[in-house]
Amino acid sequence: MTGHARVSEGSATGAPTQEGALVEVRDLNVTFRKRSLFQQTRSVRAVKDLSLQIGESETLGLVGESGSGKSTAGRAILKLVPAESGSVRVAGRDVYALNESQLRDARRDMQMVFQDPYSSLDPSATVGASIAEPMQVHEKLSKREARSRAAGLLDRVGLRESYLDRYPYEFSGGQRQRVAIARALAINPKFIVCDEAVSALDVSTQNQVINLLEELRGEYGLSYLFIAHDLALVRHISHRVAVMYLGHIVESGPAERVYSDPAHPYTQALLSAIPDASPYREKQERILLRGELPDPANPPSGCPFQTRCAYVMDICKESMPGKTPIDSGGDVACHLQTSGPELRGAPLGTLATTKPPSTALGAEK
């Protein structure tokens, strides 16, 4: 299943070859358990059989609604939450096979930038101390060396060196996020997970931070896993995009292809829901999804999207669809590819023109 997907993705994108992928995640499963004394243990499978690759200096966008498991996936890849099964390789090291001191060493290659820099930066430490800390821990730099490098990093992210002795509360949201980025860069990582890193910022500040991330990627050859719910932003920054729904990656592929020719009905609905301010673009028919994301603790049988899908067939309620490669790049997990209308690698748009969702729905009834 995954081997299949790799070949198709590698061949269809101009991105670095997947063979030497910097980050390689295979069949990752994360389950949260809630034990209580008198009740049965409740478990939520937050991430299910997640596989993805990210090449060197490549950005993979991970999109999905809240509750889709995208943040959990990002954290599990860095082993910040434990995975139940599966493997994660970052820069040649199997993250889940390492002992604690090896893991600490491996963390130099992988860093994270969180959504809210106010809660991820120590409010009682100066910005300089926060940025210097990882260098002192990992590279055993002296205080003075670390401080001078911290000054250089502040300068690199567009802040004045004199800010070294200031505290996080003295900064605006955008500046704080720059500090968080400087800290993530401090030990020359190869891979950074950006979890909703700019979601809390105003649009013009957000763009400055995005431009900075892009510059740094080019400069240091960084790879990003860019987790966000803003689809337009993800489109802008990502080479490839993966769409998550209820713990599963339902579709992935080159960003151009996923956005212009979505192959999964969920991707199609998600894209049609983006409000568009352009007075010139043709208004597209909005696909209004009924209801909301099902309870992750009690997921539907078969395909996770079957309860809200306009094209739902009997087989969708019975089994989880496997991955089918899409001719124009990437792959999709949808029964439409192999059953019913049998798209066989064609994007969903071809179906919509011949058979509108309403007819598909009517036929089902």
Partner 1 sequence: MTDSSITANERSSADSREVESTDDTLLRIDDLRIDFATDHGWANVINGASFDVSESQIVGLVGESGSGKTVTSLSILGLIPFPPGRKSGGHIWYRGKDLTEMPMEALRHIRGNEISMIFQEPMTSLNPAFTIGDQIGESYRLHRGASKKAAMQRAAEVLDLVGIPNAGKRVRDYPHEFSGGMRQRAMIAMALVCDPKLLIADEPTTALDVTVQAQILELLAKIREETGTGIVFITHDLGVVAELCDKVVVMYAGEVVETAIGRDLFIEPKHPYTEGLLTAMPQLGERGEKLGSIPGRTPEPWAMPEGCRFNPRCRYAQAKCREKVIPLEDLGGGRASRCIRVHELELEGAR
Please give the residue ranges that form the binding site for partner 1 (CB under 8 A): 65-66, 172, 174, 202-205, 207-208, 210-211, 214, 229-233, 235-239, 255-256, 259, 269-270, 272-280, 286, 288-289, 291-293
Q: How far is the CB of 288 from partner 1 (least distance, A)?
A: 6
State whether residue 248 is helix, strand or coil.
strand
Compute the least distance from the CB of residue 327 to partner 1, in Å: 21
Cα–Cα distance measured from residue 174 to residue 123, given in angstroms and rounded to the nearest whole number? 16
Q: Please measure the distance between the N-terminal and C-terminal CA atoms of the chain and give it in whole angstroms.
A: 32
Cβ closest to partner 1, residue 107 vs residue 239: 239
Place of tokens 């409740």: 42
Backbone angles phi, psi at 44, to 5 degrees: -120, 120
Residue 120 or 238 having the CB closest to partner 1: 238
CB of 67 to partner 1, least distance (A): 9
The span from the CA of 310 to the CA of 265, in Å, is: 8
Instruction: Provide, rounded to whole angstroms, the least separation between the CB of residue 39 and partner 1.
Output: 17
- Measured from the CB atom, the residue of 37 and 277 that comes closer to partner 1 is 277
Per-residue burial over 39-71, b = 16 or more CB atoms within 10 Å of its CB, e = otherwise: eeeeebbbbbbbbbbbbbbbbbbbbbbebbbbb
Least separation in angstroms between residue 101's CB and partner 1 is 40
Helix (H, G, I), strand (E, B) or coil at 191: strand
Query: What is the C-alpha to C-alpha distance for residues 52 and 21, in angstroms, rounded to an integer?
Result: 10
User: From the CB of 173, what's the least distance to partner 1, in Å?
Assistant: 8
Measured from the CB atom, is 4 or 42 closer to partner 1? 42
Nearest distance, CB of residue 193 and partner 1, angstroms: 20
> For residue 195, what are its two tokens?
């979890």
- CB-nearer residue toward partner 1: 66 or 101: 66
Question: Which residue from 172, 170, 134 is spatially nearest to 150, judged by alpha carbons?
Answer: 134
Closer Cβ to partner 1, 43 or 172, answer by number: 172
Alpha carbon distance 138, 199 (integer Å) = 30
Q: How many helical (H) and strand (E) elements, i.e. helices and strands, does the chain have?
A: 14, 12
Pick 275 or 362: Cβ nearer partner 1: 275
